[in-house]
Amino acid sequence: MVAKHKYLILAVVYANFIVLGMADGTFGIAWPYVRESMGQPLGQAGIVMIVGAFFYALASSRLGRLSKYLSLEKLDFIGTAVLAAGFLGKAFAPNFTVFVLMSVFTGIGTGLIDSSLNSFMVKSFSSRHLNWLHCFWGLGASISPIIMTQMILTLTWRAGYASIAAVQGTVAFIVLFVILKGAFKKVEKNQEESLHSNHNRQYLTKKRHIVIAVASFFLYSGIEHSIGFWISSILLESRGMVLEVVGMYPAVYFASIAGGRMVFGFFANKFSNSVIIRFGYSLAFAGIAILYLTGSILGMALIGLGFAPIFPCFMHATSSRFGPKILTRLVGYQIAAAGAGVAVLSPLVGQILDRISLEALFPIAMAAAVVGLLMNEVLERNVRKVNR
């Protein structure tokens, strides 16, 4: 792999994941003001999330089929352009119906970006770079609530969406430029050798193992999104905090995810993916408990730090657990499951909070952390078993 092409691709892919993070980190802080201006109740956020996540999952699940006709980098470019169009449409949406319809575009865009780039990185780079890739997602997700908060305080939530759309459109042109230079193709030539280098390794093939691997993304993404989204409503409406303080909580959360992935990236090649996932879920559990009991922003930081390596390490473990033959297809299913987790679990959590108590988020999140940890242990135990 020629170094200059490797670093060019990494720079572009990292920038692309900043854009992806900005898409995920915006809605939670904007929703109280979007719903007020459009006359919608709190629970209507579920409709927006369901529509966006459904099309995210649909686009992701089709990755295996789409990659037969278009390269991964071209699918990424299409996704980035569609995402920018969706955010611009939300900025100018005249009513709630149009706002929801724009979630079709943002869902397709994020689904294509997430699945194509994760597949590309799992094939081409180590766990270290996959952690760093998702670090830049966290960076984007931590920047966007700050941008949206400032726009709400000085202008309107519409200006916040328009500003983020401009950034996304710029990155789409950069991706197109790099594609035309042929840099992706030069990196892809090295994929086959690295994927097939270990001929003696045995892989998981049973359907129940695949189901667990896919369900792990459903659970993790659903609870990660639920905490990032609903925490603003909890702090504003249940604990009576002011917007200037509340806006810092999701920002710290996503910044901790970003910073944690940067730190874990340095250790990712020294410890197994499974060990890092185990540590991450344990730390997140402790952070949830602290946030629940004290309301301290330190708890929010610990949750983000614990969640930081789980998604990238679980994703990178796909190649060593299931092998190259089904890698692209399985990555697509896992990304689709992540979208389904957002579509199902986040609205479901919202309904529970609406009917029982906003504070119910915390015990739900702790239970999810325990189940996610157990899923990882089951897969790791079976990998060791087939390779004895």
Looking at the chain, the whole-number percentage of residues with pLDDT higher than 90 is 26
pLDDT of 338-383, one tens digit each? Answer: 878 877 888 889 889 888 888 889 999 999 999 999 999 999 888 8
pLDDT of 65-94, one tens digit each? Answer: 887 788 777 888 999 999 999 999 999 999
Model confidence at 9, pLDDT cuts 50, 70, 90, reads: confident
User: What per-residue confidence (pLDDT) applies to 205?
Assistant: 77
Strand residue runs (E) in the chain: none
Model confidence at 1, pLDDT cuts 50, 70, 90, reads: very low
User: What per-residue confidence (pLDDT) applies to 302?
Assistant: 96
Model confidence at 284, pLDDT cuts 50, 70, 90, reads: very high
pLDDT of 116-154, one tens digit each? Answer: 888 888 877 777 888 888 888 878 877 888 888 888 888
Average pLDDT over residues 261-276: 85
- At residue 191, does pLDDT exceed 70? no
Q: Which fold has domain 3-386?
A: Growth Hormone; Chain: A; (1.20.1250)
DSSP sequence for 33-45:
HHHHHHT--GGGH
CA dihedral 342, 221, 131, 24 (to 10 degrees): 30
Q: Which two tokens stand for residue 122?
A: 């799992």
- At residue 256, does pLDDT exceed 80? yes
Phi-psi region of 156 (alpha: psi -120 to 50; beta: other; left: phi over 0): beta
Average pLDDT over residues 11-22: 88
User: What per-residue confidence (pLDDT) applies to 35?
Assistant: 85
Average pLDDT over residues 18-39: 84
Name the DSSP letter for residue 13.
H
Q: Are 232 and 246 in contact (CB under 8 A)?
A: yes
User: What per-residue confidence (pLDDT) applies to 25?
Assistant: 76
Considering Cα of 319, then 124, then 283, then 357, what sign does the dihedral take? negative
Average pLDDT over residues 184-211: 68
User: What per-residue confidence (pLDDT) applies to 358?
Assistant: 85
User: What per-residue confidence (pLDDT) applies to 85?
Assistant: 93
Give CA angle at 241 (367, 250), nearest 5°. Answer: 50
Residues in the chain: 388
Q: What span, in angstroms and rounded, lies between the C-alpha atoms of 154 and 348?
A: 33
Contacts of 189 (CB under 8 A, 6+ apart): none
Q: Are 218 and 340 in contact (CB under 8 A)?
A: yes
Contacts of 170 (CB under 8 A, 6+ apart): none
Q: What span, in angstroms and rounded, lies between the C-alpha atoms of 234 and 198?
A: 49
Q: Are 110 and 83 in contact (CB under 8 A)?
A: yes
Diameter of the chain measured on Cα atoms: 62
User: Domain segments of the chain: what residues?
Assistant: 3-386
Phi, psi of 244 (to 5 degrees): -60, -35
Cα dist from 65 to 60, 68, 98, 217, 255, whole Å: 10, 6, 30, 21, 35
Q: Are 257 and 221 in contact (CB under 8 A)?
A: no
Name the DSSP letter for residue 43.
G
User: What per-residue confidence (pLDDT) applies to 194?
Assistant: 52
Look up the pTM and report it.
0.78
Considering Cα of 129, then 6, then 82, then 108, what sign does the dihedral take? negative
User: Which residue's entry shows tokens 């944690």?
Assistant: 260
Q: What span, in angstroms and rounded, lies between the C-alpha atoms of 50 and 256?
A: 26
Task: Identify which of 18, 340, 350, 331 has the alpha carbon closest to the alpha carbon of residue 174.
Answer: 18
DSSP sequence for 290-302:
HHHHH--HHHHHH
Q: What span, in angstroms and rounded, lies between the C-alpha atoms of 192 and 328?
A: 13
How high is the mean pLDDT of the chain?
85
Q: What span, in angstroms and rounded, lies between the C-alpha atoms of 53 and 166?
A: 22
- At residue 55, does pLDDT exceed 50? yes
User: What per-residue confidence (pLDDT) applies to 199?
Assistant: 56
CA dihedral 228, 61, 46, 147 (to 10 degrees): 40
User: What per-residue confidence (pLDDT) applies to 189?
Assistant: 57
pLDDT of 308-348, one tens digit each? Answer: 999 988 888 888 888 777 888 888 899 889 878 877 888 88
Model confidence at 206, pLDDT cuts 50, 70, 90, reads: confident
Q: What span, in angstroms and rounded, lies between the C-alpha atoms of 213 and 224?
A: 17
Model confidence at 200, pLDDT cuts 50, 70, 90, reads: low
